Amino acid sequence: MNEINVAIIGCGGIASVHAERLIKIEGVRLKAFVDIDEKRAKSFSEKFGGHYYNSIDQLVKNEHIDALFITTPPFARGDEVKAIEKGIAVFFEKPVALNMRKAEEILDSIRRYSVINSVGYMWRYLDISSVAKEEVVKNSPTAMVLGQYIDPFWFPPKHWWLYKDKGGGQVVEQATHVFDLARYLEGEVSRVYAEIDNRIAGKFIYSDMTAEDSSIVSLRFKTGAVGVIVSSCVSQNTFTGTLLRLITRNIVVEHLGHSKILRIYEKNRIQEFRSPVDPYFEEDKVFIEAVKTGDTSKIKSSFEDAVKTLKITLAANESAKTGKAISLE
């Protein structure tokens, strides 16, 4: 298959990020755009070519496509099954869904129709993530995993992200990248305990906001390592930063996520690596290559794998609600 016909559903912010990269990949044709807000689909079609629709039903009825990018908000997931049933390869943005029932429903159909699939946990595609993984393995065991997702509050009023039933909250929607990287580097989690709250943003920024503005999530990994991932989105124009540190006896591995920096702290030495890789471009190229060749070996985040990250973050929400630790064994 030399020419790959691609459609995108959900023509918003991250859809642009993918479309701008997809047009640079040889053989890719952006054939169609779908959005419930037809104006948005139309503006993508004016910019990138291709047809536009306001539903996936119209897309599958009218177009022959090989791959679909799903860049809708988390609450809008599920309808993609209609494309999967046609044998279309699917690239999902994270988080894959807002609950396990929906995630498993989609996973079942991916398995049943054996479609190529990938999920946008883009940090996995950074060269520094492979270096980090090698170092963690070489220096195991890890004693502690320490993660952070601090974001400046940038959301306009009524944005879907502000509502927990639409975006899942900061842990499920945003800090998911740190949880996923922790799984990528340290492996599976067996127990989760969380304190999650909206202490300030719901009072002083938007009174109807239901997503949390601050959280701590304690983790026990199957390796035995203990971990904690903290997140906040409340502080405007002050500080922003994503990181994951893995602490072992001989080294500390520090992955700075969005900053694309890796530091390895050793006795008397700190090594720093700055990645030149565009992880969005990389994940798109790998996915398209898999669709072209059928070889999925370079895909670093499958739907099935991403469901495991979702499960941890949903367990954090459950723990915060019940006040109990949640076992994932």
Ligand X SMILES: NC(=O)c1ccc[n+]([C@@H]2O[C@H](COP(=O)([O-])OP(=O)(O)OC[C@H]3O[C@@H](n4cnc5c(N)ncnc54)[C@H](O)[C@@H]3O)[C@@H](O)[C@H]2O)c1
Q: State the residue for tokens 């915060």.
A: 320
Q: Residue 228 CB: number of other CB atoms within 10 A? A: 15
89-118: which residues touch ligand X (CB under 6 A)? 93-94
Among 74, 147, 169, 257, binds ligand X (CB under 6 A): 74
CB of 294 to ligand X, least distance (A): 25
Nearer to ligand X among residue 77 and residue 264 (C-beta): 77
Q: Which of 6, 9, 252, 316 binds ligand X (CB under 6 A)?
A: 9
CB of 269 to ligand X, least distance (A): 32
Query: How many residues sit in the footprint of ligand X (CB under 6 A)?
Result: 22
**Binding track, positions 252-291, relative to ligand X; x by CB under 6 A:** ----------------------------------------
Measured from the CB of residue 104, what is the shortest distance to ligand X in angstroms? Answer: 18
Q: CA–CA separation, 9 vs 72, rounded Å?
A: 6
Q: By CB under 6 A, is residue 34 in contact with ligand X?
A: yes
- With binding defined as CB under 6 A, does residue 36 bind ligand X? yes
Stretch that binds ligand X, among 32-40, 192-200, 208-216, 226-234 (CB under 6 A): 32-40
What are the strands of the beta sheet with 226-232, ordered from one edge?
269-274, 261-266, 252-255, 241-248, 142-150, 226-232, 214-221, 189-197, 326-327
Region binding ligand X by CB under 6 A among candidate stretches 30-38, 209-217, 230-238, 267-275: 30-38
Q: Interacting stretch for ligand X, rule CB under 6 A, among 69-77, 234-242, 248-256, 308-316?
A: 69-77
Q: Which lies closer to ligand X via its Cβ, residue 94 or residue 245?
A: 94
Residue 40 in contact with ligand X, rule: CB under 6 A = yes
Q: By CB under 6 A, is residue 10 in contact with ligand X?
A: yes
Question: Which residues inside 170-209 make contact with ligand X, applying CB under 6 A?
Answer: 173
Q: With binding defined as CB under 6 A, does residue 13 bind ligand X?
A: yes
Give yes or no for residue 227 binding ligand X (CB under 6 A). no
**Nearest-CB residue for ligand X:** 12
When asked if residue 57 is in the footprint of ligand X (CB under 6 A), the reply is no
Judged by CB, which is closer to ligand X: 139, or 257? Answer: 257
Contact by Cβ (8 Å): 227, 218:
yes
Q: Is 35 in the site for ligand X (CB under 6 A)?
A: yes
Burial class of residue 47, CB neighbours in 10 A (0-12, 13-18, 19+): middle
Query: Closest distance between ligand X and the C-beta of residue 70, in Å?
Result: 8
At closest approach, how far in Å is the CB of 40 from ligand X?
Answer: 4
The residue ranges that bind ligand X (CB under 6 A) are 9-15, 34-37, 40, 71-74, 76, 93-94, 120, 122, 173
